[in-house]
Amino acid sequence: MIVGVAIRNDEVIIFLPKPNRHCDCFRYAFEVLGIECPKLKIGSKREHQGFITDKGVYLDRLQAMRHAKRCGQKLIKTDDDIKHKWSHPLFSEDVW
């Protein structure tokens, strides 16, 4: 199951539980850890933003979509095209 959102770079992974969004990870990095976002060097590339599973494994957005579908996690979006595409990246709005 997907249980949280995450951002990462070569040095750090920041993850927060649902119902947080990726922007909350960036806010946490800045406000709590004192890391400015440009120093994180995290862009919109899919490998830098992803999700954490209930086993503590980081998955990028595409891996997370496949994982959510394999384990039968309910997707909230009503767009049938997204519900049936394994190649669609997962967004937090899809799961909570």
Sorted by where each begins, the domain ranges of the chain are: 2-95
Enter the pTM of the model: 0.84
Q: Which amino acid is at 30?
A: F
Each residue of 15-60: pLDDT tens digit?
999 999 999 999 999 999 988 776 667 655 557 899 999 999 999 9
Confidence of residue 84 (pLDDT cuts 50, 70, 90): low
Mean pLDDT of the chain: 86
Q: Is the CB of residue 92 less than 8 Å from the CB of residue 21?
A: yes
Output the six-digit token pair for 26: 């960036």
Of 23, 54, 24, which Cα lies nearest the Cα of 64?
54
Neighbours of 65 (CB within 10 A): 25
pLDDT confidence of residue 35: 83
